[in-house]
Structures are given as C-alpha cells and as structure tokens.
Amino acid sequence: MPLNTAPNAPAALYDYPHYWAECYGTSEYLPMSRAEMDALGWDSCDIIIVTGDAYVDHPSFGMAVIGRVLEAQGFRVGIIAQPDWQSKDAFMALGEPNLFFGVAAGNMDSMINRYTADRKTRSDDAYTPGGMAGKRPDRASLVYSQRCKEAYPHVPIILGGIEASLRRIAHFDYWQEKVRRSILMDASADLLLYGNAERAVIEIAHRLSRGETVDSITDVRGTAFIRRDTPPESEGWLEIDSTRVDQPGKIDRIINPYLNTTDMDECEVEKRNQQWLEYEDPRIKRPGEQKLHFHPRARLDRNRTVIRLPSFEKVSKDKVLYAHANRVLHLETNPGNARALVQKHGSQDIWINPPPFPLSTPEMDYVFGLPYARLPHPAYKGERIPAYEMIRFSVNIMRGCFGGCTFCSITEHEGRIIQNRSQESILHEIEEMRDKVPGFTGVVSDLGGPTANMYRLACKDPKVEASCRKPSCVYPGICQNLNTDHAALKSLYRAARNLPGVKKVLIGSGLRYDLAVRDPEYVKELVTHHVGGYLKIAPEHTEDAPLSKMMKPGIGAYDEFKRLFEKYTKEAGKEQYLIPYFIAAHPGTSDEDMLNLALWLKKNGFRADQVQAFYPSPMASATTMYHTEKNPLHQVTYKSEKVQTAKSPEQRKLHKAFLRWHDPKNWPLLRKAIADMGRQELIGDGPNQLIPHYQKGEEDLVYEAHRRKNKGGEHQKRMGKPAHNASAKPATKATSGKPANKQQAGKKMLTQHTGLPPKPRTEASNKPKPAGKPKQRRT
C-alpha cells in the first residue's frame, strides 16, 4: 500500500461503519477489571488502553476521549490505569486484546510530571488519587509498552499521548542532558500517533479489524513508524535532502599585496584568471549543436514528497544540525501543506507522516457529546484526584493555539488551527454538568481551552491558511489575514450565564491580551461578568530580547490591556486585579534583563509568591535554543545568531531571585549580582532602588506568602511516608516583626499574593482568636 496518500476530504469520525461488537452497547464506565467485563457480557476486549493517569471519565482526560470514541465505533475498550510496572502481571489483568494495546504516559509527559524545572522530585502527582507521587515510572511510555510486549508478544502496540508526540524524532532530553533517539526506537511499539489522535486511531482500529497487519498501515496522517528503506521514485516519491546546512567553498590563500602577481608563474589565482581569458568556446567549432531550452521545475506534489532530516547520529553530535532539524520540523506542521519527514537512526528510518487534518465543528461536537460519566471511576471510592477537581466544573470549548510561543508544547501537539465546538454543544455540556455532577453550585469555573479567547478565530481566507508556513499568527504582530472578531465568544458568554441554574461563568484559561485589545467590547464583557476577583495573563517578560525568543508581544500590549481592564472594572464598580505570570531563565535572557524585570515589578507593585523557571520540554523551539544556543526561528547556519542561555544552576537561581526581589533570603545573592553589573545605585532604601543595604538582623526577616499551610501530614501522605510525630517540638520560627535595627522598625514584610494587594491588618485581626471548631475549606 502506498505511503501517505491522504485524501483531500477525510472521512468524518461518525461515517465509519460500526464494528460488530456495537451490539453490547455503551458502558457507564469503561471496564478496569474482569468482573466489570463479565457484567457487560464481554469475553474479551478489542482494545486495551494503558495510561499513567487515574481513569477519570471526562473529556479533559485523554484515555476517556480515545476510549469513548472507539466505543462509539463499536469496539470493546478496557482501561488499565497506573498499573504496577514491576512485572507483566498487571498488564494481563483484562486478558489479551483482540486488536491492539494503546499506550500513553498520561495527560503530561511523565518526566515533567515527576520532576521540577530544577530537576527535583515533585512531592505529589495531580493525576493520582490522593495526589500521591510515585504511581507511574519515569519514561512511562517506554516502560508500559515493554511490559505489554512481554505480556502478549504478538499483540500490536500503538503509542499516543503528549509524551509520544513530543518525542517522535530525535530530541534533546533535559533530564539526561543529551539527545535521545525517537521514542519509537526505544519502545516496543509498532506505531506512534501524535497530536489529537481521534481520526488516526479510528482508521487504524477499523483496518486492523478487517485483517490488515499493523506493519502495512503506513499511510495514515498523524502517525510515525519505523522502516528500513525509502520508497523508490518509481512509486512517485521524491526525497528532498535537508541533512546539511551551509558548506564553505574553496577559499584562496591571501596574496601578498606588495607583490606583482602578474609576473609570478606560481600564482594559481592569476593562472586561473588567464586561462579563463584565453578560453575558447568549443561550441564555435560544432555548428550542428542544438540550443537547450530550460523550463521551470514542475510544482512538486507535497503529498508524495518526503524531507530527509539530519540523522540521529549527526544531530546528537552537531548542535547546529539539531537546530536545523528542529526548524524544518516546525515548518512542516500545517496540515494544509506539510510534507512527510524521515530521519535515519542507524540502519533504520523513522518516517513521520504529515499532521492530521483538524476536526470540523460537527466532529468536535461528536467527540464531546459522547456519554462521559464526568466522574472518576468508582474503583477509587471517592478519593480526591487533584487534576479532576481543577476541571470538575469547567468546559472545554476549543482546541489548538496559533500563538506559537516557543516554550509551549500546545502547537506541537494540537496544532495551530483552532478546532471549535458549536455553541449548542457547549451549552448542552453545561446543562449536563449542572444536572449530573455532584457538588455543582451554579458556578462554571472555566469556559476556555489552551487559550481563553481564540474561539472561532481563524484565517480570513482558507486558501491562505492552507498554504501558510508562519510559526505564529500573532508574532511579531497580528497577521492581517487573521480574523480577530470576538463576536462568537461574546455570544457564548451571554448564553452560558443566562442558562437556568447557572449563577456565574468564570474564565480561568490564560488570556491572549494582544488579541483582546483588538476588541474592547470583548474586554468589557469579560471584565464586567466573568472575572472572579483576579484574571491571569502571561506577559512572561518585559524586555525585548527574551520576548523575541519567546515570540511574545512587547509589554506595551500588556499596558494597553491593563488600561482597558482597570477602566471597565471601575465602570462595573468592582475590585478586581490582574495576575501577570513571568518566566525566569528563558533562552535569550541576560542578568540585566532580569534586573530590569525586577525593577518593573517593584515599580508596578507586584510581589510574586511562586515563580516559574524555564522548563526545556522535548521538541519545543525554546528547548532547541537552550541546547544549541542557536535560534531556529530564523535560518540556521554555523555563523547564525547565538542565543544567550542561562544553564548553570547558579545563574538559574539568580534569575528566579530577581522575580522574588522582595524576599530577604534573596538579598545577598542579588546584592552581589547587582554590584557585578556595576549598578550599585540600585541598592538602598529609596523608591527607585531594588533592595536595601545589608543591615544587622535581616537574616531573621521572613516573607510570608498567601499560601495554604501544610496540615495533618498531607505532604508525607502524598509521598507515602509516615506523618511526623505531632508531639515533637516545633522548629523555632523566625520573625520579621522584631528587626535588630531601629531603622527597620515598622518595615515588616507584607503578606501578598501575586498581583494582589496585602490583606489589611487591623488591631482586631492581630488579636488571638478563641479556640473552636475549624472552618471547613470550601472546594
């Protein structure tokens, strides 16, 4: 079967003939045990999904979406969630699947899920009951697929999820500080599905059910597989060699300017010049020759073209070639014009078909309208799953993001084209949530997606959209072909908050404020009705150098949004605040950039309780900058732009300290850095100075943040450790209220949440409260 001959109009998800097992109907929950299978009358599963997350039957969880989509096609689907990976036994709990194992690490890359940006082990896992850490292995996709192969060697294994998506080619691994092979080479898997995989997994399941072998399925978009040869030109394929960048030509030796080179027999340059001058065209002596006519090369069929990337062996040793390969990959992400990619790993090739076509609005409604229980599986007996609690009363209205932020993985996974649900489908889900989800109080916690305000935004011309190769529609400025009218979103907001039983609809997803300012009426609608006290936005930085490497707008766009936000907040008679988020140590950021950001934070009255250091996730463009110190946003050569990068733990710690300039424990580090920059004028007690001079007793100052205290050994429970002895003597707490220097009296550090003013402290609030029954924490 020929590779990658994708049709212009793919079959709709709901147009496939159903598999014979549809006679069993749908299940309240996809089964996780043989007892549940017996209750459904199943003798076996057609497909078993193995996942690193707890099974929550909700459209925000990947295993539920893929499982329900396959169930709607008539297949019997079982779930093995967070299995014990120490042996194959847990992977045999549901028996042998008839068609294949689907393996995914979960909603997050397993390494990012377990380790912080400083490579420290996290104390919890939001996708596990009780938030307990340690319920999934590192590189879960590899471990799970190997155990599945050990359990049933002849059953096909198909990898999916974000971990597989971001590791489909040779990639830099932050945790090992080296380039690793494609995950397909290390996993015992037959196919890899990247991106939102509904379209691909349905087609593959039906073809396997018809008797096709997994190694013959090589033409499905959004898939990657291993092959040993490239299809020959006789099959209509053309391979474009992109394994090299600029190569220097022959360079002549510099000639002594004081010599008369025309008199020198040994001068090779002059010899060549003389030979050219004396050259006689031989065609003069050939009167019978015919003139050649050159025609422009015919337009290539992109569906039959494959680009060969530099091999794993080359990109693992040559950082410039790694950056070049990453740039080519990101240029081939538009489903309308992307070509297949191939990368050699030893004697084998990783073949990556073009991205899947986006789902249409009817298909999105179909996926989100399936019979999800919207609850965790009963096997967890009501134990709290933090990730579910976060999205319990939220509704996803779209997929994709055309922002193109270089540190973000959304584009690589979901694509740049926005896939929208209809307003009717969204309102129906809100009503289902209102009527069926326990604990609903009338407040919708979020109506959004990867970005809050890209719903129904798209290119004005579908032909332009299909041919575009820009990495972002909003950087360096908003594209003139982009429709920025928020009318559909405003209509949705109004309809949602007018539903019976709905008291308030909040917007919790991140807002793209450079788009929002194009529609002041939208900002007014948002601020007046949909902000719950504060609104989070992400300027990420204030300085042009790091912003240009992030592909984020300048701080002027933030200032304009802030002006509109404050204007409409005042008109609404409310007290609301913006919560800006910033990244430390992003590629392209210097110490001076972080100093300027800290000065901006102080000037604008922001004190960040929690800060985020840049986290190099696999395949992101910013990760390429971090690893190679080259900029893949532009043509990569050995002489192209070098990107300044904070890699050492000491410099990363300094950048984070600048974001927390107000914390006394950071002052010694900041004083030294500021002095090294020659900016000693910024040290002092003045309003334009960042931090004070050293004063005796500052070591005892403590900045107290607005963060919930750990109670009852919760941290120890999550880590699987025994709680501390409650009768043990507590550690002495340093205080900030008794400075050793009179000059510091009255300068107690204020408790403050990011962007919010400190809580007013009155005389009454300082009095000790009588003991009594503690208040229940609202959820």
Chain segment 576-596, per-residue pLDDT in tens: 999 899 999 999 999 999 999
Distance CA 310, CA 345 (A): 10
CA dist., res. 505 & res. 446, Å (int): 7
Is residue 648, in this structure, part of any structural domain at all? no
Reported as a pLDDT band with limits 50, 70 and 90, residue 698 is: confident
Write down the pLDDT at residue 761.
44
Residue 473 is assigned to a ligand binding site: no
pLDDT category at 265 given cuts 50, 70, 90 is: low
pLDDT confidence of residue 411: 82
Of 48, 265, 289, 180, residue with least CA distance to 627 = 180
* 117 inside domain: yes
The reported pLDDT for the residue numbered 746 is 39
In a domain, 36, yes or no: yes
**719 vs 323 pLDDT, higher one:** 323
For 643-674, what is each residue's pLDDT tens digit?
Answer: 999 999 999 999 999 999 999 999 999 999 99
- The average pLDDT across 474-500 equals 97
pLDDT at 536: 86
The reply to whether 405 sits in an annotated binding site is: yes
Q: Dihedral, CA atoms, 603, 606, 612, 614, nearest 10 degrees?
A: -20
Q: Which residues neighbour 571 within 8 Å (Cβ) at sequence distance 6 or greater?
A: 524, 528
The answer to whether residue 319 sits within a structural domain is yes
- In eight-state DSSP terms, residue 637 is -
Domain tally, the chain = 1
Residue 323 corresponds to which amino acid?
A
Q: 232-236, 394-398, 768-772 — which is least confidently predicted?
A: 768-772
Residue 476 CB contacts under 8 Å (≥ 6 apart), including other chains = 548
When pLDDT is averaged across residues 527-549 and rounded to a whole number, the result is 94
**Residue 710 binned pLDDT confidence (cut-offs 50, 70, 90):** very low
pLDDT digits over 446-457, tens only?
Answer: 999 999 999 999
- 522 found inside a domain: no
- Give me the chain's average pLDDT, please: 87
Is 20 among the domain residues? yes
Q: Quick check: is 306 in a domain?
A: yes
* DSSP helix/strand/coil, 169: coil
Instruction: Let me know if residue 331 belongs to a domain.
Output: yes
Please check the confidence at residue 215 and state whether its pLDDT lies above 90.
Answer: yes
Buried b / exposed e along 458-484 (16+ C-beta atoms within 10 A): bbeeeeebeebeebbbbbeebbeebeb
Domain containing 227: what range? 13-238+301-352
Average pLDDT value for residue range 531-557: 94
Once rounded to an integer, what is the mean pLDDT over residues 730-759? 37
Q: Which of 542-546, 598-602, 712-716 comes out lowest in average pLDDT?
A: 712-716
Indicate whether 766 pLDDT > 70: no
408 annotated ligand-binding residue: yes
Say whether the peptide bond before residue 476 is cis (omega within 30 degrees of 0): yes
Torsions phi, psi of 186, nearest 5? -95, -25
Q: Which two tokens stand for residue 442?
A: 């009338």
- Rounded to whole angstroms, the Cα distance separating 494 from 506 reads 12
pLDDT value for 364:
98
